[in-house]
């Protein structure tokens, strides 16, 4: 008889036992409820509050509930206001206010002046996994040195880049930082709570709250251009809730977003709904991708299981101005947007490219005009979402042997161009000027040539202990 | 469940209490893994459940409640994380573990547990976190992706790789003991 049965079930049971010993059991629910209940009683009836909020959003009359409501941090050039704030804090002598200021005004360092705003921007997290303190580093594209860095607290979104500012969302608010030196430009509270990742188009910044209200903000000041109640509810716009609300997409004067099985188009200037479409209730949209006068979006079957037996997805192309369906394409696999990853389709030229991370993991390319399959490439079960740039489709695969592989395919044919294998964790980033930028553990930024995958240059971010997430601003 | 949520949406605290009782354990386990600071878990969960109370009116009742709640818990953990450092977990001593009548079995059990802890310690933090969320919080892979922010493919590979490493480590121990017995 064997001393140990090292099959999966035994190992899983061992792990469960181990963690039970380590973390213990949940405390008594009754005691927890005993502490929670009085707090519920002390708060406004949620339904009443909700209806009040909706009414306020419709009428715009109830300023206290309308978001965004005020600017907290003085923008660049408003030093008088900032000084006044400091003076007020001193006069009041409130330790709480000073502490609050310390939290909201992170430290900025600038090693030397920057010319223009083009360059590489790397987001790194501070401390251990789970920490939500992050730092944005601006890297000179030529010298690869850090130009400035700025801390974010509670950053809860991807970053969005405008002409001269970076935008990020935290719990209940939006930050804007000046690209030139990383200083805070404005900081807006949002009464309506959690927001999607921000999107910038022209002089407007767009976010959607979890109640389906899309907001257009002036990128310079953070002031609201308009808000639109789209009727979308993003609370669970995902399969098993595995995705957070996706960011809006903007093109050709139209703002799009999805929730559940509904897609909505909003006039970017007026903030009025242009059209909305729904698909079968068994299908759920991923985030839209707007290009020119079309919007592309995928849907997938909802399933509470990670790998259900029957799953399929569709890719749709809608006319952006009328909402007319141009074409749809069915895939017998599940296209799912993973948390923290790009949209599940990438559109380049006349091709719509995506993969199906659940089930077969294959990569597909469709003709953007007709929706016909152009090519299909076999990929791995462990593949992550595709990105496209410079005529190359690429995606990262975390193989189970501990390696990280960057796969590159020819955009036109789907044929394999090259693979690069890395022993360290790898985060692919943007493609610019025939280079793929990526973050590699523990603190490297690497630039690969799109033609052959060879490393052109790499640099370490001193003092950083997390894999950088990269953006490139032209 | 749908009727419970609907009642809670209208402000029925009894219905909300039933939701708390149903989902408290998974919320606690998830927070326990993400936060690691046991002292702060209760506050985090209080805030998360208050978020749920406030957000319920906008919740669509035909949608699953659990992932939504996990999102709220995760967000609260993230907000709290900056105020805390991760707890250093002391590796338990062998004496803390199972005692059986059979001394050989006892020794083997202790060795196996010790080896598991040692093998776990060799995994990356991310791999450990995925294992904890899978086998302690008992989350689905897609839910792990939700609370960690990792792509789904990465979650899958982390889990496979971690289990593979653990099997190799424990197999090495088994061979060693069998060799010693000979």
Residues 168-187 of A with CB under 8 A from B: 171
Spatial separation of the C-alpha atoms in residues A373 and A365, rounded to whole Å: 6
Task: Give yes or no for B175 touching A (CB within 8 A).
Answer: no
CA A457-A394-A117 angle, 5° bins: 50
Phi then psi for residue A299, to 5 deg, are: -130, 160
Under the banding of pLDDT at 50, 70 and 90, the label for residue A376 is: very high
Give the tens place of pLDDT for each residue, A103-130: 333 334 443 334 477 889 998 876 443 3
CB pair distance less than 8 Å for A29 and B20: yes
Q: What is the mean pLDDT of chain B?
A: 74
Mean pLDDT value across residues A163-189: 88
Residues 124-143 of B with CB under 8 A from A: 125-126, 129, 131-132, 135-136, 140-143
Closest listed residue to residue A15, CA positions, set B128, B50, B12: B128
Counting residues of chain B whose pLDDT is more than 90, the rounded percentage is 8
Say what the pLDDT of residue B172 is. Answer: 66
Under the banding of pLDDT at 50, 70 and 90, the label for residue B178 is: low
Burial A442-464 (b: 16+ CB within 10 A, else e): ebbbbbbebeebeeeeebebeeb
Give the tens place of pLDDT for each residue, B151-163: 777 788 888 888 8
Phi then psi for residue A94, to 5 deg, are: -90, 120
Give the tens place of pLDDT for each residue, A420-441: 888 777 788 888 889 999 988 8
Q: Above 70 in pLDDT, residue A35?
A: yes
Say what the pLDDT of residue B91 is. Answer: 35
Nearest-CB residue to A32 (from B24, B92, B135):
B24
Say what the pLDDT of residue A316 is. Answer: 94
Say what the pLDDT of residue A325 is. Answer: 94
CB pair distance less than 8 Å for A241 and B64: yes
Give the tens place of pLDDT for each residue, A62-72: 233 233 333 33
CB pair distance less than 8 Å for A29 and B53: no
Under the banding of pLDDT at 50, 70 and 90, the label for residue A221 is: very high
ipTM: 0.76
- Higher per-residue confidence, A316 vs A49: A316
Are A407 and A395 in contact by the 8 Å Cβ rule? The answer is yes
CB pair distance less than 8 Å for B58 and A235: yes
Q: Above 60 in pLDDT, residue A32?
A: yes
Say what the pLDDT of residue A84 is. Answer: 41
Cα–Cα distances (Å) from B89 to A11, A209, A268, B165, in that order, read: 21, 38, 52, 21
Q: What is the mean pLDDT of chain A?
A: 75
A201–chain B nearest CA distance, Å: 26
Say what the pLDDT of residue B77 is. Answer: 80
- Higher per-residue confidence, A307 vs A460: A460
Counting residues of chain B whose pLDDT is more than 70, the rounded percentage is 68
Say what the pLDDT of residue B140 is. Answer: 81
Side by side, which strands form the sheet with A224-229?
A199-201, A204-208, A213-218, A224-229
- Higher per-residue confidence, A392 vs B39: A392
Which residues from B are below 8 Å from A151, CB to CB?
A: none
Say what the pLDDT of residue A7 is. Answer: 63
- Higher per-residue confidence, A250 vs A239: A250
The single residue listed with the structure tokens 């640099």 is: A459
Spatial separation of the C-alpha atoms in residues B29 and B9, rounded to whole Å: 25
Nearest-CB residue to A6 (from B71, B167, B177):
B167
Q: DSSP state, B83?
A: T
- Higher per-residue confidence, A87 vs B111: B111
- Higher per-residue confidence, A440 vs A233: A440
Give the tens place of pLDDT for each residue, B10-62: 778 888 998 999 899 999 999 988 886 777 888 889 988 988 887 776 666 55
Cα–Cα distances (Å) from B36 to A267, B31, B44, B81, B133, in that order, read: 46, 8, 12, 9, 12
Give the tens place of pLDDT for each residue, A135-154: 889 998 888 888 998 887 66
Mean pLDDT value across residues A37-49: 57
Say what the pLDDT of residue B108 is. Answer: 63
Q: Residue A258: beta bridge partners?
A: A263
Q: What is the 3-state secondary structure (H, E, C) of chain A?
A: CCCCCCCHHHHHHHHHHHHHHHHCCCCCHHHHHHHHHHHHHHCCCHHHHHHHHHHHHHHCCCCCCCCCCCECCCCCCCHHHHHHHHHHHHHHCCHHHHHHHHHHCCCEEECCCCCCCCEEEEEEECCCCCCCEEEEEEECCCCCCEEEEEEEECCCCCCEECCCEEEEEECCEEEEEECCCCCEEEEEECCCCCECCCEEECCEEEEEECCCEEEEEECCCCCEEEEEECCCCCCCCCCCCCCCCCCCEEECCEEEEEECCEEEEEECCCCCEEEEEECCCCEEECCCEEECCEEEEEEEECCCCCCCCCCCEEEEEEECCCCCEEEEEEECCECCCCCCCCCCEEEECCEEEEECCECCCCEEEEECCCCCEEEEECCCCCECCCEEECCEEEEEEECCCCCEEEEEEECCCCCEEEEEEECCCEEEEEEECCEEEEEECCCEEEEEECCCCCEEEEEECCCCCCCCEEEEEC
Say what the pLDDT of residue A169 is. Answer: 83
């Amino acid at each position: 008889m064997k001393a140990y049965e090292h099959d999966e079930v035994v190992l899983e049971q061992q792990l469960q036992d181990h963690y039970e010993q380590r973390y213990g059991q949940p405390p008594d629910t009754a005691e927890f409820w005993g502490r929670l209940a009085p707090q519920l009683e002390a708060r406004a009836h949620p339904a009443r509050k909700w209806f009040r909020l909706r009414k306020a959003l419709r009428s715009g009359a109830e300023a206290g509930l309308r978001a965004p409501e005020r600017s907290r941090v003085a923008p660049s050039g408003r030093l008088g206001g900032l000084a006044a704030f400091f003076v007020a804090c001193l006069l009041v002598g409130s330790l709480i206010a000073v502490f609050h200021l310390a939290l909201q005004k992170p430290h900025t360092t600038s090693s030397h002046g920057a010319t223009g705003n083009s360059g590489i921007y790397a987001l790194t997290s501070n401390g251990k996994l789970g920490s939500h303190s992050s730092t944005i580093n601006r890297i000179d594209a030529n010298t690869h040195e850090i130009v400035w860095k700025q801390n974010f607290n509670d950053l809860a979104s991807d970053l969005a880049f405008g002409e001269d500012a970076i935008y990020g969302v935290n719990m209940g608010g939006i930050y804007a930082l000046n690209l030139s030196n990383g200083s805070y430009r404005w900081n807006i509270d949002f009464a309506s709570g959690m927001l999607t990742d921000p999107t910038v188009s022209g002089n407007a910044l767009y976010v959607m709250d979890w109640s389906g209200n899309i907001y257009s903000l002036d990128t310079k000041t953070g002031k609201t251009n308009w808000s639109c109640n789209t009727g979308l509810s993003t609370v669970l716009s995902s399969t098993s809730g595995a995705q957070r609300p996706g960011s809006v997409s903007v093109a050709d004067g139209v703002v799009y977003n999805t929730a559940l099985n509904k897609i909505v188009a909003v006039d970017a200037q007026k903030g009025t709904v242009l059209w909305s479409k729904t698909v079968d209730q068994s299908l759920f949209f991923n985030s839209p991708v707007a290009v020119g006068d079309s919007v592309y979006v995928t849907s997938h079957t909802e399933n509470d299981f990670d790998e259900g037996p029957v799953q399929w997805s569709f890719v749709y192309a809608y006319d952006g101005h009328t909402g007319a369906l141009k074409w749809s394409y069915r895939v017998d696999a599940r296209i799912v947007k993973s948390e923290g990853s790009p949209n599940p389709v990438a559109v380049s030229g006349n091709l719509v490219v995506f993969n199906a991370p659940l089930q077969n993991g294959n990569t597909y390319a469709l003709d953007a005009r007709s929706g016909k399959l152009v090519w299909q490439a076999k990929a791995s079960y462990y593949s992550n979402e595709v990105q496209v740039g410079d005529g190359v489709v690429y995606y990262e695969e975390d193989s189970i042997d501990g390696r990280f592989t960057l796969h590159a395919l020819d955009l036109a044919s789907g044929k394999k161009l090259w693979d690069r294998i890395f022993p360290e964790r790898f985060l692919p980033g943007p493609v610019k000027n025939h280079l793929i930028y990526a973050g590699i553990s523990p603190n490297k930024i690497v630039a690969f040539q799109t033609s052959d995958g060879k490393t052109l240059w790499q640099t370490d971010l001193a003092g950083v202990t997390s894999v950088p997430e990269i953006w490139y601003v032209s | 469940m749908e009727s419970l949520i609907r009642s809670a949406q209208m402000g029925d605290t009894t219905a909300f209490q039933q939701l708390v009782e149903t989902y408290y354990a998974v919320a606690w386990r998830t927070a326990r893994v993400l936060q690691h600071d046991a002292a702060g878990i209760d506050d985090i969960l209080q805030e998360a459940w208050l978020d749920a109370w406030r957000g319920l009116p906008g919740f669509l009742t035909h949608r699953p409640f659990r992932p939504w709640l996990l999102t709220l818990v995760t967000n609260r953990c993230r907000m709290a994380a900056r105020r805390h450092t991760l707890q250093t977990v002391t590796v338990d001593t062998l004496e803390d573990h199972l005692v059986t009548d059979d001394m050989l079995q006892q020794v083997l059990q202790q060795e196996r547990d010790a080896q598991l802890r040692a093998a776990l310690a060799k995994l990356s933090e991310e791999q450990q976190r995925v294992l904890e969320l899978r086998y302690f919080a008992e989350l689905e892979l897609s839910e792990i992706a939700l609370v960690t922010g990792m792509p789904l493919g990465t979650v899958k590979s982390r889990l496979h790789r971690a289990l593979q490493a653990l099997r190799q480590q424990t197999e090495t121990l088994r061979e060693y003991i069998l060799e010693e017995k000979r």
